[in-house]
Structures are given as structure tokens and as C-alpha cells.
Amino acid sequence: MRRCEPSHFAPARRHRLQEAEMMSQIPKKIQVLNVPKAIPVPRMLNKLTIYFQKPSNGGGEVLDVEYPTRVNNCAYIIFKKEEDANNVLKQEHVLQIEKKTYKLEVREVEKGFRNADSEQVIQFVTTTLDTSHYPKEKALQLIFRHDLEI
């Protein structure tokens, strides 16, 4: 019976380790909502990049920032590591620019939406709501509770 030398296993093992390391570094895209429009685009790109690179914000290496997009007040951040994107998704985010604070909302991008040309669609619906059978105060409470605009 032939004895297997450790060197026979080394290339396969090394390949599996490299594969596992690569898997932990799969880029991941997240969606950022409530991005302020009032800031010029080049400055906002810089602010978003710096903000999401900071470990204190859960971030890491940013490969790209897609802004502006066809969706108003929306940007996409592409992280080098999926782990960094996942950490960002677990936290709340407040961006400070010129003594103003902006609460950002971060979301995971669905698997089918990996580039700017096929962005996640957010639809807005307009309708007429008859509130005449409610007292005015109750009608207003319902409208504001459901974040409807008058």
C-alpha cells in the first residue's frame, strides 16, 4: 500500500483555501435612500464613499458609488467584501454635512438588480381617499400614520 505524502494534498487544499477566501470577498451592492439632493453630485459621491468606508459606520473598502440614479434620493454602494455590506445593513446611518444631519436608509439589493441599468423600481401611486365618514382629526391621524401626502 502506498503512503500518501502531504505534498499530494497541498495543491488541492491550497485551492480550497483560496476559493474560501475569494468567497468571503464577493462584492455586494446595497441601496441607500434619503440621500440629500441639495449637495452637488461630486461632493455627495465623496461624502458617501468616505462615510461607508469608515469601520465606525460598519463599512469597509468601497469599490464604487452609483449616484445619481434614476430613483430620486437614491445611491448604490458596492463593497469589496460582502461582510462589510452586511455590517452596514445592520446599523442605522446618519450623514452629517454642513451641520445638518440626514438619516439614511440602507437596504439590500435583490439578486437580480446588480447594475445601474436595472435598478430596483419604487412605484408611487396616486389615489383619492374618501375620509368624509371619519371625524377630521381621525382622518388626519390615519393619513399621517400611513405616511400619505395630502
For 32-48, write each residue's pLDDT tens digit: 999 999 899 999 999 99
| Domains within the chain, CATH numbers bracketed | 27-110 (3.30.70.330)
Distance CA 106, CA 122 (A): 14
Looking at residue 69, its amino acid is T
Mean pLDDT of 7-20: 50
Q: Is the pTM of this model over 0.85?
A: no
Confidence of residue 141 (pLDDT cuts 50, 70, 90): confident
Pairing of strands 62-66, 93-97: unpaired
Q: Cα dihedral angle (108, 110, 113, 116), rounded to 10 degrees?
A: -20
